[in-house]
Amino acid sequence: MLMSKGKVEKQFTWKNCAGIPEQHTAKDCGYFIMRYMKDIAEDKNLDFFSKWERRGKATYTQQHIDAVRTEWAKFAVKTYM
């Protein structure tokens, strides 16, 4: 832990992920990142890193990317319209 101005801050250890899903096109970059972040955030067992290590050169399917697009669009319509 780090102390600064009376505050306690947690120290984080960054970990490189082996076997992360491969992105095939540049146009899906944002959706790809959102899907990857969603997988990490929803991992209740905290085994995300070992799961991707086992998958090797796995990729997200078009259905994975479309699911993120749909979820984002529903959120945007509900929030801003």
Residue ranges per domain, the chain? 2-80
Residue showing tokens 């259905």 = 63
Instruction: Report residue 18 as tokens.
Output: 């082996």
Instruction: Say if residue 71's pLDDT is above 80.
Output: yes
pLDDT at residue 76, as a whole number: 92
The pLDDT tens digits of the residues spanning 27-70 come to: 778 888 888 888 888 888 877 777 766 666 677 888 988 998 99
pLDDT confidence of residue 18: 64
Q: Which residues contact 8 (CB under 8 A, 6 or more apart)?
A: 1, 2
Distance of alpha carbon 53 from alpha carbon 50, whole angstroms: 5
Type of residue found at 52: W
For residues 16-30, give the mean pLDDT.
72
* Angle (deg, nearest 10), helices 62-80 and 29-41: 90
